[in-house]
Structure 1
C-alpha cells in the first residue's frame, strides 16, 4: 500500500478519498487554489500545496502544478477524484511516466473509453447495444443536418470528453444546429480541454441506468449492481438511487452482464461506471407490487473512467468501500471477492445538496454558511467538506454536500429521506433542500415512474416555487437585500505595506470629514475613464448579473435593437451556462463587459435606452 497520496481535487470528494486513505494508514496531500485556501479539504489533509489562482484552468487543471506538488510532497500516488483531471488521459499518461502511481484506469484505456466516439466502437465490438450515432468527430453544421435527415430530430450533440451534462446540447430543429454545435464545442473546450463533438439520436424519455464496475490488474472484473439516475435537470443528475425501481431481474442481469463484457474487452482496471439509456421500463405501482416490471431496450451511453459522484449509493447497498478498492487495485492487489459474493441489500438514495435557488431555474447561489446543521440517525450518511461559517463562492461546482440515505426497502428509504431532509438546516443562501423535500413526496417519483425528462417537461414549476417559499432559507433572501460596503485600508506589517479590501454586509457607509465636525457621505469619484460610463448607466436601463460568474460571450453590439426575452450575453456560473435576457425591448446603448471578464451579482452588463 502507498505511504502518501495526493488528492488532485477539492470539496467533498477530496475529503471522501482522504478518509479512505486515513483508514488504510496512508497520509494525504491536498492541493488548493487561492479561492480555496481555507477550504475543508485543506483543513482535513496532512499537508497542502497552493497550485494557482481561483480559475480552475490555472490551478486544478494545471497538470504541471499538480505534478510539481506531488514531487514536493513526496507523494507516491495521485487520486484524481471526479471532474477536473479525473478523465484526462494525457494527465494520466504523465503520471504514469513519473515516479508517482496513477490511482485510476491506464491512460490507454481512458483514451479508448473516455472519449465517447472510441467507446462506442469498443462497445459495438463487444456486442453491447449502442444508440444510433456517429463514431467519428463532427466538424460542421452540414454534418449535423445530414444526420438529422437520416435519423430525424431531436439530435444530441455531445462533447467527446464530456460528462455530467457538460457539453451536451439537444437540437430540436435545423435552425438550432449552428448555435448548439458552437456551444457544445465551447463547453467541451472549457470543461474538458477537448472541443471535439459527436452525434447521437436523442432518446426523449428514457431511464438513465448505470452499472458500477471494479477491475484489477489480474483480469478480474466485477460489477456492483446498478444505480438509477433518471431524475435530472438539463441532463444534470439531482437524485440517484439503487437499485432501480424500474428494472426486472432479467433486464437487470442483462445490463450487468453487458457492462462486464464491455469492460473485459478493454484491459480496463480500477473503478468505472458503464452508463445506459433504457426505454419502456416504467412499471406501475401495481406491477411493482406484484413483482413485475416492463422490460425494454437498453443502449450503451458512455463509460465514466473514474469514481462517480453517486458512488455512495452502491457502497450503502453492497457494503463495499469503492475508494478503498481503487487504492488497493492501484497498489497491485487482487479484488478480494467474487461476483457471486456481491449481494445487494436494501435501498439507498443520494441527494445532491447544491447551492442553488430552485425557484429561479436552479440559479447558483453564494454566501456564508450562517447555519450548517446536517441530519443524523440510523441510515443517514453525509459526505461534505464544509462547516458552519464557511464562505461558498461561485468559482466551482455548486454542490456543497451529499446526503445519502439507506434503508431496508425503497418505501422506508423515502420515509427516512423525508425525515433527514426536514432535519437538514442550512441558512445563509439558497440550497436545493426544499426541492428534495418536494420530490420525496411527489407521486410520480414515489411511484418510480419518472424518466429523464420529468423535471424539465412534466413537473409544474409552481410546485417548486411553493416548496422554496415554504421551506427555503429566509436568511438567504435577507442577505441578498443587504447593502455591501467595501472598505479599503493600508496596513503595515514588519515594515511592509499592504492594501487590504474588506466587504461588510449591512454596514453604514464610510463617512468623510467635513467642516465644523460634521460628516458627509463620500460621493463617488468620477474619473476620465468612468464618468461617461456612469452617466450612460444612469440615463438608461441596466441589465445586471443575477449571479457571480464569468462572461462567456456577448451576443449584442451597441446600437442593436432588442426585444423582451432576447439574449444579450451568456454568463457561466458554477459550471453552468446562463442566458442573460432583456425584460423589455430597446436599443443597446452601452456594453459594459467583455468575453472572459468576471462579474459579481448586481454588476451592470448592458445598458438599454
Structure 2
C-alpha cells in the first residue's frame, strides 16, 4: 500500500479521499491556490503546497506545479478526485512516467473511453446500444445542420472532454447553430482544455441511469448497481438516488450486464461509471466517466463498499476482494448537493461569510464537506459546498428521513439550495419517481421554487458574526517557505477576538485532525444598469464582451458573459442606451460590484 498520497483537487472530494487514506494508514498531501490557502482540505491534510493563483488554469490545472508539489512532498501516488485533471489522459500519462502511481484508469483506457466519440465506437463494437450521433469530432457548424436534417431537432452539441452538462449545448432551431457551436467549443476549452466537439440526437424525456464499476489488474470487473440521476437542471445533476425507482428487475439486470460487457476487454482498471439514457423501456449508452463520481456515496451507502478505498487498493495492485454475487443492495439512498446558489434567482451562484454552519445528523445521515462555520465562500470554483447523503430501508423512509435532515441543516450567511431540496422531497412528481431529466427545466412551476425560498431561505443577516468578546482567542499565523504552507496556532487569554480573515478560501473554523501538521451553465443574471452603469452581481471571470464603445443596446441585451463557479452567466442591460465605456476585457477577473459597462 502507498505511503503518501497527493490529492490533486480541493473541497469535499479532497477531504473524502484523505479520510480514506487516513484509515488505511496513508499520509496525505494537499495542493491549494492562493484563494484556497485557508480551505478545509488544506487544514485537513498532513502537508500542503501552493500551486498558483486563484484561477484554476494557473493552479489546479497546472500540471507542472502539481507534479512539482508531489516531488517536493515525496508522494508515491496521486489521486485526482473528480473535475480538474481527473479525466485528463495526458496528465495521467505524466504521472505514470514519474515516480508516482496514478490512482485511476490507465491513460490509454482514459483516452479510449474518456473521449466521447471514441467511447461510442468501443461500446458500439461491444454490442451496447448507442444514441445516434457522430463517431468523429465535427469541424464546422454546417455539420450540425446536416446532422439535424437527417435526425431532426433538437441536437446536442457536446464537448469531447465534457461531463456533468459542461460543454453541452442544445440546438432547437437552425438559427441557434452558430451560437451554440461556439459556446460548446468555448466551454470545452475553458473547463477541459479541449475544444473538440461532437453531435448526438437529443432525447427529449429520458431517465439518466449510471452504473458504478470497479475493475482491477487481474481481469476482474464488478458493477455495484445503478444510480438514478434524472433530477437535473440544465443537465447538471441535482439529486441522485439508488436504486432507480424507474427500472424493472429485467431492465436493471440488462443495464448492469451491458456496463460490465462494455468495460471488459478495454484494459480498464480502477473505478468508473458507465452512463445510460433510458426512454420507452430501451436504454442507450451515453458516456463513461473515467473517475470517481460526485454521487459515489449513494452507492457506498447501499452496498457498504468504500469506493475510494477500492481505488487505492486497485492502484496498489491488489485484487478486488468480493465477487459480483457478493454485491447486495441494502435499502435506498439519496444525495443532495448543497450548492451556494439562490434557487429563486435562476440558481445564481452565491458568495459570502458562513456565519452559521450546523449540518444535519442522526441515523442514516452522512455529510461530506470541507467547510466550517466562519469560512468565507468565494466564487472562484464550483458552487457545491457540501453533500447530504441519506440512507434508509426503502425509498419512502428515505424521503421522510431526507425531509427531516434538510430541515435540520442550518446554513446562514448566503443562499443555498436547501429550500429547493425541501420542496423536492415533498414534490408529487419526484416522490412518485416518475420525473425525467427535463422535469425541472420544462415542467416544474418556477413560482413554487420562489415560494420555497421565501419560506425556508436565509433569514439572518450574513453580517452576523456572533460574539466577539470571547475570553480565549486563537490567532493563526501562516508562513510559506519555498511554496509550502505552514500554520502556527496560538491561544491568547483575555485578548479580544481576531476578526475572521477574508482570504478567498475558507478563513474561519477548523477541520484538522489532532495529529495533522498543515503546511502551506450557463445561467442569466440581470446587472444593475439603470441606463448608466452595469456592475458585476457576482465574483467571476469575463468569458466574452459582446459590445464595444458606441454600440446601441436595448433593455435585455447581453453585454458580456461572466463565468462564476463554473457556470456561464449572461450579463444583460436593464435599460437601453449607448455604450460609452467598456471597463473590462476577456479573461479579466472581477469582484461583486465592480463596474463593467457604462451607458449614456
Kindly indicate whether residue 235 of structure 2 is the aligned counterpart of residue 235 of structure 1.
yes
- Rounded to whole Å, the distance in 1 between the matches of 2:380 and 2:43 is 19
**1:187–1:195 CA contact under 8 A, matched in 2:** yes
Kindly indicate whether residue 343 of structure 2 is the aligned counterpart of residue 358 of structure 1.
yes
Deviations 1:29-78 (A, max 9, x none): 11111111111011111111111111101110011111111111111100
**2:353–2:462 CA contact under 8 A, matched in 1:** no
- Rounded to whole Å, the distance in 2 between the matches of 1:554 and 1:72 is 41
Alpha-carbon shift at residue 477 of structure 1 (Å): 6.8
Which region of structure 1 is more displaced relative to structure 2, 539-548 or 338-347?
A: 539-548
Against the structure 1 CA distance between its residues 338 and 423, is the aligned structure 2 distance closer, same or farther, given a 3 Å change threshold?
same
Alpha-carbon shift at residue 596 of structure 1 (Å): 1.0
Partner of 1:168: 168
After TM superposition, the score normalised by the length of structure 1 is 0.87
Partner of 2:84: 84
- Rounded to whole Å, the distance in 2 between the matches of 1:212 and 1:394 is 31
Alpha-carbon shift at residue 98 of structure 1 (Å): 1.0
Kindly indicate whether residue 532 of structure 2 is the aligned counterpart of residue 541 of structure 1.
yes
Kindly indicate whether residue 561 of structure 2 is the aligned counterpart of residue 555 of structure 1.
no
Question: SS in structure 1 opposite 2:460?
Answer: helix
Describe how 1:20-169 pairs up with structure 2 within 5 A.
20-169=20-169
Partner of 1:565: 556
Q: 472, 482, 507: which one pairs with 2:457?
A: 472
Question: SS in structure 1 opposite 2:185?
Answer: helix
Describe how 1:196-595 pairs up with structure 2 within 5 A.
196-280=196-280, 296-475=281-460, 541-595=532-586
Alpha-carbon shift at residue 561 of structure 1 (Å): 1.9
Partner of 2:187: 187
- Rounded to whole Å, the distance in 1 between the matches of 2:559 and 2:140 is 25
Question: SS in structure 2 opposite 1:20?
Answer: helix
- Rounded to whole Å, the distance in 2 between the matches of 1:89 and 1:476 is 46
Which region of structure 1 is more displaced relative to structure 2, 590-599 or 127-136?
A: 590-599
- Rounded to whole Å, the distance in 1 between the matches of 2:27 and 2:86 is 20
Question: SS in structure 1 opposite 2:549?
Answer: coil
Deviations 1:228-257 (A, max 9, x none): 000111100010000000000000000000
Against the structure 1 CA distance between its residues 572 and 129, is the aligned structure 2 distance closer, same or farther, given a 3 Å change threshold?
same
Alpha-carbon shift at residue 474 of structure 1 (Å): 2.2
Partner of 1:292: none
- Rounded to whole Å, the distance in 1 between the matches of 2:152 and 2:215 is 38
Deviations 1:127-159 (A, max 9, x none): 001100001111111111111111110000000
- Rounded to whole Å, the distance in 2 between the matches of 1:416 and 1:442 is 15
**2:276–2:286 CA contact under 8 A, matched in 1:** yes
Alpha-carbon shift at residue 543 of structure 1 (Å): 1.6
- Rounded to whole Å, the distance in 2 between the matches of 1:118 and 1:172 is 26
Alpha-carbon shift at residue 265 of structure 1 (Å): 2.4
Alpha-carbon shift at residue 587 of structure 1 (Å): 2.0
**1:156–1:202 CA contact under 8 A, matched in 2:** yes
Alpha-carbon shift at residue 539 of structure 1 (Å): 10
After TM superposition, the score normalised by the length of structure 2 is 0.89
Question: SS in structure 2 opposite 1:12?
Answer: helix
- Rounded to whole Å, the distance in 2 between the matches of 1:144 and 1:477 is 47
Alpha-carbon shift at residue 164 of structure 1 (Å): 1.1
Deviations 1:281-303 (A, max 9, x none): xxxxxxxxxxxxxxx11110000
Deviations 1:180-206 (A, max 9, x none): 011100110111010000000011110
Alpha-carbon shift at residue 503 of structure 1 (Å): 7.5
**1:211–1:275 CA contact under 8 A, matched in 2:** yes
Kindly indicate whether residue 591 of structure 2 is the aligned counterpart of residue 600 of structure 1.
yes
- Rounded to whole Å, the distance in 2 between the matches of 1:120 and 1:278 is 16
- Rounded to whole Å, the distance in 1 between the matches of 2:306 and 2:529 is 59
Alpha-carbon shift at residue 476 of structure 1 (Å): 5.5
Question: SS in structure 2 opposite 1:474?
Answer: coil
Which region of structure 1 is more displaced relative to structure 2, 594-603 or 100-109?
A: 594-603
Which ranges of structure 1 fall in alignment gaps of 5 or more residues?
Answer: 281-295, 480-492, 494-501, 505-536
**Matched residue count:** 541
- Rounded to whole Å, the distance in 2 between the matches of 1:456 and 1:538 is 28
Greater RCO (Cα-Cα under 8 Å, separation 6 or more): 2
**1:430–1:476 CA contact under 8 A, matched in 2:** no
Alpha-carbon shift at residue 175 of structure 1 (Å): 0.5
- Rounded to whole Å, the distance in 2 between the matches of 1:263 and 1:463 is 42
**2:529–2:535 CA contact under 8 A, matched in 1:** no
Question: SS in structure 1 opposite 2:96?
Answer: helix
Which region of structure 1 is more displaced relative to structure 2, 562-571 or 259-268?
A: 562-571
- Rounded to whole Å, the distance in 1 between the matches of 2:53 and 2:572 is 30
Deviations 1:428-457 (A, max 9, x none): 111000000000000000000111111111
Superposed CA RMSD in Å reads 1.6
Alpha-carbon shift at residue 593 of structure 1 (Å): 1.3
Alpha-carbon shift at residue 563 of structure 1 (Å): 2.0
- Rounded to whole Å, the distance in 2 between the matches of 1:67 and 1:241 is 36
Question: SS in structure 1 opposite 2:209?
Answer: strand
**1:9–1:81 CA contact under 8 A, matched in 2:** yes
Q: Which runs of 4+ in 1 moved over 3 A?
A: 475-479, 537-540
Alpha-carbon shift at residue 328 of structure 1 (Å): 0.3
Kindly indicate whether residue 17 of structure 2 is the aligned counterpart of residue 14 of structure 1.
no
**2:207–2:279 CA contact under 8 A, matched in 1:** yes
Question: SS in structure 2 opposite 1:339?
Answer: coil
Which ranges of structure 2 fall in alignment gaps of 5 or more residues?
Answer: 465-478, 480-500, 504-527
**1:2–1:26 CA contact under 8 A, matched in 2:** yes
Against the structure 1 CA distance between its residues 503 and 189, is the aligned structure 2 distance closer, same or farther, given a 3 Å change threshold?
closer
